[in-house]
Structure 1
Amino acid sequence: MTLNSPGAVPATPITRRSLLSKTLAYGCVPGLATGLSTGVSAVSAPAVRTRFAVSTYSFWQFNRDELRDIFLCLDLAAEWGFDGVEILHRQMTDESNSTLQKIKQRAFVNGLDLCGFSTHQGWVSPDADVRRQNTEHTIRCIELSYALGIPTMRVNTGRWGTSGSFDELMKNRGIEPVLPGYTEEQGFAWVIEGLTQCLPVAERCGVTLGLENHWGLGRTPEGVMRIVRAINSPWLGTTLDTGNFLEDPYERLEQMADNAVLVQARTYYGGGLWYSLDLDYRRIAELLRKHRFGGYVSLEFEGKDDPRTAIPRSLQMLWEAFSV
Structure 2
Amino acid sequence: MDNPQASRRAFLKTAVAGLPLVATAGVGTLAGTVTAPSATKPGPVKLSCNLYSFNEPLMNGQMTLEQVLEFCADLGFDAVDPTAYYFPNYPAVPDDRYVYEIKRKAFRLGLDISGTGVRNDFTLPDAGRRKAEVELVRKWTDVAARLGAPVVRVFAGLGKELSPSQPRAEVTSWMMDAIRECAEYAGKQGVMIVFQNHADYVQTADQTLEIIRRVDSEWLGANLDIGSFKLGDPYAQIAQVAPYAATWQIKENLFVDGREVPTDLGRIVQIVRASGYRGYLPIETLGKGDPRQKVPVFYEKVKKALAVNG
TM over 0.5: yes
1:61 and 1:15 map into 2 onto residues whose CA distance is: 37
Residue 241 (1) aligns with residue 240 (2) = no
User: 2:256 maps to which residue?
Assistant: none
User: 1:117 maps to which residue?
Assistant: 116
Deviation at 1:218, TM superposition (A): 2.2
**Higher Cα Rg, which structure:** 1
Residues 184 and 59 (structure 1), Cα distance of their counterparts in 2 relative to 1, 3 Å cut: same
CA offsets 1:236-264 (integer angstroms, 9 cap, x no match) = 01011111112411101111100101011
User: 2:179 maps to which residue?
Assistant: 195
- Asked whether the 8 Å contact 1:84–1:112 carries over to 2, the reply is yes
User: 1:51 maps to which residue?
Assistant: 46
- Asked whether the 8 Å contact 1:117–1:154 carries over to 2, the reply is yes
2:42 and 2:212 map into 1 onto residues whose CA distance is: 30
1:91 and 1:205 map into 2 onto residues whose CA distance is: 22
2:178 and 2:251 map into 1 onto residues whose CA distance is: 28
CA offsets 1:143-199 (integer angstroms, 9 cap, x no match) = 11101110111111112116xxxxxxxxxxxxxxx5234111111000011111122
2:149 and 2:276 map into 1 onto residues whose CA distance is: 22
- In structure 2, give the amino acid aligned to 1:263: W
Deviation at 1:127, TM superposition (A): 0.5
- In structure 1, give the amino acid aligned to 2:160: G
- Asked whether the 8 Å contact 1:210–1:239 carries over to 2, the reply is yes
Residues 62 and 158 (structure 1), Cα distance of their counterparts in 2 relative to 1, 3 Å cut: farther
Residue 15 (1) aligns with residue 5 (2) = yes
Give the unaligned 5+ runs of structure 1.
1-10, 22-44, 163-177, 269-274
User: 1:297 maps to which residue?
Assistant: 281
- Give the number of aligned pairs: 270
Match of 1:90, SS state, is: helix
1:82-161 equivalences in 2 (<5 Å): 82-93=77-88, 95-161=94-160
CA offsets 1:75-114 (integer angstroms, 9 cap, x no match) = 1000111000001111211511100000000000000000
Higher relative contact order (CA 8 A, sep 6+): 2
Deviation at 1:49, TM superposition (A): 4.5
1:32-71 equivalences in 2 (<5 Å): 49-61=44-56, 65-71=60-66
CA RMSD, 1 decimal: 2.4
1:284 and 1:205 map into 2 onto residues whose CA distance is: 32
1:16 and 1:152 map into 2 onto residues whose CA distance is: 21
Deviation at 1:64, TM superposition (A): 5.1
Higher alpha-carbon deviation: 189-198 or 90-99: 90-99
- In structure 2, give the amino acid aligned to 1:298: P
Give the unaligned 5+ runs of structure 2.
12-39, 254-258
- Asked whether the 8 Å contact 1:114–1:150 carries over to 2, the reply is yes
Deviation at 1:118, TM superposition (A): 2.1
Residues 256 and 287 (structure 1), Cα distance of their counterparts in 2 relative to 1, 3 Å cut: same
CA offsets 1:33-78 (integer angstroms, 9 cap, x no match) = xxxxxxxxxxxx9975431010111112487524452111111000
- In structure 1, give the amino acid aligned to 2:49: V
1:67-86 equivalences in 2 (<5 Å): 67-86=62-81
Higher alpha-carbon deviation: 146-155 or 195-204: 195-204
TM-score by length of 1: 0.78
2:43 and 2:300 map into 1 onto residues whose CA distance is: 18
Residues 20 and 204 (structure 1), Cα distance of their counterparts in 2 relative to 1, 3 Å cut: farther
User: 2:208 maps to which residue?
Assistant: 224
2:289 and 2:81 map into 1 onto residues whose CA distance is: 20
2:57 and 2:83 map into 1 onto residues whose CA distance is: 10
